[in-house]
DNA sequence: CGGCTTATGTGCCCTGACGTACAGACCGCC
DNA sequence: GGCGGTCTGTACGTCAGGGCACATAAGCCG
């Protein structure tokens, strides 16, 4: 984040990992957009118009069924892209995508994504890699939902968000978190209360500040570390297998996603 | 399955959907294997040696974390293939794959899968489509785990299995089902007891016979129908787009940035 | 400043699922 | 045909979380 202009598409990990030639071909078609919290980026069943590459924003993938039951499946920030179904070949998806945390993103028209997909280049390879990262997130959510207490899940959620944000603050209401975790708002109030009592976080109406990140990690269920480790592994394996095309991203920090302060 | 020989690779939906030319290229490399229930097809973290295309067998994708908590993520039978990470580019995966229901499958060496992937042909396209189906299964599991009672989840699980099996009988113990659903064995006993009392199923030590499929569907949570519908849609969309490679929707409403509610 | 909206805190009862312990039943096998 | 292991049934107490009903407080805006 340091040597880059304030708003550079390469703050996004996928775009940053593109070989220079591929990036050059695409950069002219990238459009910068500001994502407002709460915005519905993609309605269930609608066709995709754009693929989004967040830099400072976070987008939540949500599934809601007909009875109104819903849960967050995964979140995407600077580590990935929104619109995986475009890459997998499905025209649309029943998943909803909403802006969980406001910020900036770059977007590419769906036609361009399809073109790149059919071309079979780096963008496709990286996108498929991220698809696997998404599956990893979802898989751990299944286990986590089933076996772990709400306060631990809250830790995991906070840490995941934090990894995609610049500071140490997450700006969401407990109501929103409850919606994401698929639990009652009161359950979040209670869990957050515990964490605050333990000095790990501090919050005021719609803003949660993380005081003790290490403590939060210790308090979180192992799912957080597991997802993190697996996604790092996937991305590194991907980067390594790129060896055929010379690695030309010399000064893009590969570990820009590791705040680890 | 009627006009086919007893053991034909084309009993598998993916292989069946391949254009004749592609199928002809692959058929010589397909090896038929018998999968024994309980076998660990793929250990977490191990590299893939084969991709499996079940015909009568069912393979369960399972994630277990370090603390021993685990849950089934999805099941694959004649509708798909086992080894999606090969197609997505990951070398391995933390998911375990075990044979849930014994039967036949055809397998392809990992190198061949990779070759086909890099070639970017029909097999890749179909595999990616199935990857999306897997994500759909997983997504609904997240919501379902969170919001639905065990007996309804059991209905869903039974129906999903049944869809991949030839008869109306599922050969598993309640213990195994409990492991898949991530609940206690006693919870399954109780749920199964209810279903039997309602005349929907009948079971004896390790064998469950479905008497009233329609009743079971009515009893299941909507997740079953939702997953089913979405997977059908995905596969049909894929089949349709097989002729014209580019299938982007060109003119769509531009006001995507609508605030939620 | 005062009023209103929205976010958060608290309490109550209820239920579904867990942990544990054990009893009974089935089935394959010698 | 009886034995033994496995699978299934039942019965506790315990508890996290859901549903509901309010109480309080924090920020916004005129």
**Residue B252: pLDDT band with limits 50, 70, 90:** very low
Entry pTM: 0.90
Q: How much is the pLDDT for A151?
A: 95
Cα separation of B151 and B187, whole Å?
A: 8
The tokens of B28 are what?
Answer: 């010589």
Distance, in angstroms, between B58 CA and closest chain A CA?
19
Which residues 180-199 on A are within 7 A of strand D at the CB atom?
A: 182-184, 186-187
Query: Looking at residue A67, which CATH number applies to its domain?
Result: 2.60.120.10
Domain assignment of residue A129, yes or no? no
**Residue B239: pLDDT band with limits 50, 70, 90:** confident
Tokens 């210790």 belong to residue: A218
Q: Which of A93, A115, A182 sits opposite B146 (nearest CB)?
A: A182
How many domains is chain A partitioned into structurally?
1
Cα separation of A14 and A121, whole Å?
A: 13
Residue A21: domain span: 1-122
Question: Is the minimum distance from the CB of B151 to strand C below 7 Å?
Answer: yes
Domain assignment of residue B12, yes or no? yes
Q: How much is the pLDDT for A83?
A: 97
Domain assignment of residue B256, yes or no? no
Q: How much is the pLDDT for B4?
A: 59
Domain assignment of residue B236, yes or no? no
Domain assignment of residue A226, yes or no? no
Give yes or no for residue B251 having a pLDDT over 60.
no
pLDDT tens digits for B104-143?
Answer: 999 999 999 999 998 888 999 999 999 999 999 999 999 9
The list of chain A residues with pLDDT below 70 reads: 1-5, 241-261
Question: Is the minimum distance from the CB of A173 to strand C below 7 Å?
Answer: yes
CB B132 within 8 A of CB B227: no
Domain assignment of residue A139, yes or no? no
Half-sphere exposure of A70 (CA within 13 A, CB side): 19
User: Among A181, A161, A195, which Cα is nearest to A54's?
Assistant: A161
The percent of residues above 90 in pLDDT, for chain B, comes to 82
Domain assignment of residue B155, yes or no? no
Question: Is the minimum distance from the CB of A72 to strand D below 7 Å?
Answer: no
Give yes or no for residue B93 having a pLDDT over 50.
yes
From residue A197, how far is each of A191, A193, A202 by CA, in Å? 10, 6, 9
pLDDT tens digits for A8-41?
Answer: 999 999 999 999 999 999 999 999 999 999 999 9
Domain assignment of residue A161, yes or no? no
């Amino acid at each position: 984040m340091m040597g880059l202009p304030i708003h550079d598409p390469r703050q996004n990990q996928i775009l940053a990992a593109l070989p220079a030639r591929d990036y050059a071909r695409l950069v002219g078609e990238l459009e910068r957009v500001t994502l407002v919290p709460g915005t519905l980026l993609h309605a269930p069943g609608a066709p995709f118009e754009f693929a989004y590459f967040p830099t400072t924003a976070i987008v939540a993938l949500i599934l809601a069924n007909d009875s109104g039951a819903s849960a967050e499946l995964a979140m995407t920030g600077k580590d990935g892209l929104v619109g995986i179904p475009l890459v997998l070949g499905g025209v649309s998806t029943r998943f909803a995508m909403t802006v969980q945390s406001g910020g900036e993103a770059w977007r590419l028209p769906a036609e361009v994504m399809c073109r790149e997909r059919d071309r079979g280049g780096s963008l496709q390879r990286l996108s498929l890699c991220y698809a696997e990262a998404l599956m990893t997130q979802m898989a751990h959510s299944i286990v986590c939902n089933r076996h772990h207490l709400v306060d631990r899940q809250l830790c995991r959620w906070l840490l995941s968000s934090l990894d995609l944000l610049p500071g140490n603050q997450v700006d969401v209401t407990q109501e929103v978190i409850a919606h994401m975790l698929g639990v009652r708002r009161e359950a979040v109030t209670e869990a957050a209360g515990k964490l605050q009592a333990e000095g790990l976080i501090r919050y005021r109406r719609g803003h949660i500040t993380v005081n003790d990140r290490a403590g939060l990690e210790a308090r979180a269920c192992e799912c957080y570390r597991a997802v993190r480790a697996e996604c790092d592994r996937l991305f590194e394996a991907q980067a390594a297998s790129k060896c055929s095309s010379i690695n030309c991203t010399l000064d893009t920090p590969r570990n820009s996603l590791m705040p680890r302060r």
